[in-house]
Structure 1
Amino acid sequence: MAKTSPAEFINQVRAEGRKVVWPSREETVRTAIFVGIMMLILSLFFLGIDTLFGAVMRWLLSLA
């Protein structure tokens, strides 16, 4: 495997960095809103599941 000098490595990193396509502000905001909504939906779902399982476990333990 050929060794790469530090200067050549930096040049390669810069070249790859120029190829990156960054999202626009609108895309970033839209994605952040989507993530927030999904986080809320999933947190409510798991709260419901946890509450249901907790109630079932309390019921089962009350039988003992």
Structure 2
Amino acid sequence: MSDRKPASPAAQGNADKAANDKPRISPGEFFRQVRVEANKVAWPSRQETVQTAIFVGILMTILALFFLGVDSLFGFVVRSLLSLA
């Protein structure tokens, strides 16, 4: 059990006030900052994007076939067990 007391309403009010003391920025400044940050991103090339998409497609197909096999095997086992009853 914690010995911490809940914050008083006055203390919570001071915390809210401190959070609201941040200087507000204009929408124009916000979008300028977004553009600056977006320019820092290392975007993949078209070739990297195509290669990754192909890899994901191949891996998805392999996993789908694997789970189809596992599901078919479990279905066979359950049907066999139910036919014994």
Same fold (TM over 0.5): yes
RMSD: 1.2
How many residues are matched? 64
Q: Stretches of 4+ moved more than 4 A in 1? A: none
Tell me by how many angstroms 1:28 deviates: 0.9
Uncovered stretches (5+) of structure 1, i.e. residues with no partner? none
Query: Which structure's residues are more often helix, by fraction?
Result: 1
The higher radius of gyration belongs to 2
SS at match of 2:44: coil
Could you state the TM-score of these two structures normalised by the residue count of structure 2? 0.68
* 1:3-51 per-position Cα deviation (integer Å, ceiling 9, x unaligned): 3332221111111111111111111111111111101110110000000
2-side partners of 1:25 and 1:16: how far apart?
A: 21
Could you state the TM-score of these two structures normalised by the residue count of structure 1? 0.87
Structure 1 vs Structure 2: percent identity of aligned residues? Answer: 67
Choose which of 71, 75, 79 in structure 2 pairs with 1:50.
Answer: 71
1-side partners of 2:49 and 2:68: how far apart?
A: 28
Uncovered stretches (5+) of structure 2, i.e. residues with no partner? 1-18
Choose which of 57, 70, 73 in structure 2 pairs with 1:36.
Answer: 57
2-side partners of 1:21 and 1:41: how far apart?
A: 30
